[in-house]
Amino acid sequence: MTALGVIILLIIVATGVAFFIVSNRYIKIYEKLEYENCTLDEETTKQVEAEKEQYASTYTAMTITATVLCIISAIPILCGAFFTQHLSGNQIDSLMTGSVAITLILIAIGVFFFVKTNTIDDGYDILLQVKDYTPQNKLGRKKMRKYATIYWLIMTAIYLGYSFSTENWEHSWIVWPISGITYSILEKIFSMKSDGVASD
């Protein structure tokens, strides 16, 4: 059964990687819009604004659904833990395995809704150059992109170096959220500098 589980896991991972490769190919075509100024004529701008406004209700509904799914995803495990006191042996294993599976499915659906709806909404923002995609922010993101590979390699080296030297794997994960926040701060600094240059 363990061997079968590993085989299924590898098939799922391989399928996921294939989807990433294919989707990345299509995303690359439009990726430059995140870093370059996007000039739309007045008619196209109004059309995009109208579509964004029309999509707002769908965005809200999908965000609420995703949030609710992520919150209630803990219920199967909690219910499983509650009923384990009335079971024993293989019954407990089967119950908890099923509970974890249901939890992961709920989280996966929630994350899918989050990613899908935010990707569409960000597409409108990129074209309209608003929120996180103003010309200044795009320029800052473009400048930071030059150093992104070096930055993340350094963060990876810090993570691995600290983890292997201290064997403190249960706490070393904190490097990643700190790295993500730091990256966003640096990107914002570049954007502010770009705004200052533009103002001058």
Report DSSP letters for 5-56, one per residue. HHHHHHHHHHHHHHHHHHHHHHHHHHGGGGTS-----HHHHHHHHHHHHHHH
- The predicted structure's pLDDT at residue 94: 82
**pLDDT tens over the chain, length 200 residues:** 467 777 887 888 889 888 888 887 877 777 888 888 888 999 999 999 999 999 999 999 999 999 999 999 999 988 888 877 777 777 777 888 888 889 999 999 999 999 999 999 999 999 999 988 888 888 888 888 888 889 999 999 999 999 999 988 888 889 999 999 999 898 888 877 766 555 44
- Give domain limits for the chain: 45-129, 134-200
- The predicted structure's pLDDT at residue 195: 60
Which residue do the tokens 């569409």 mark? 120
- The predicted structure's pLDDT at residue 103: 92
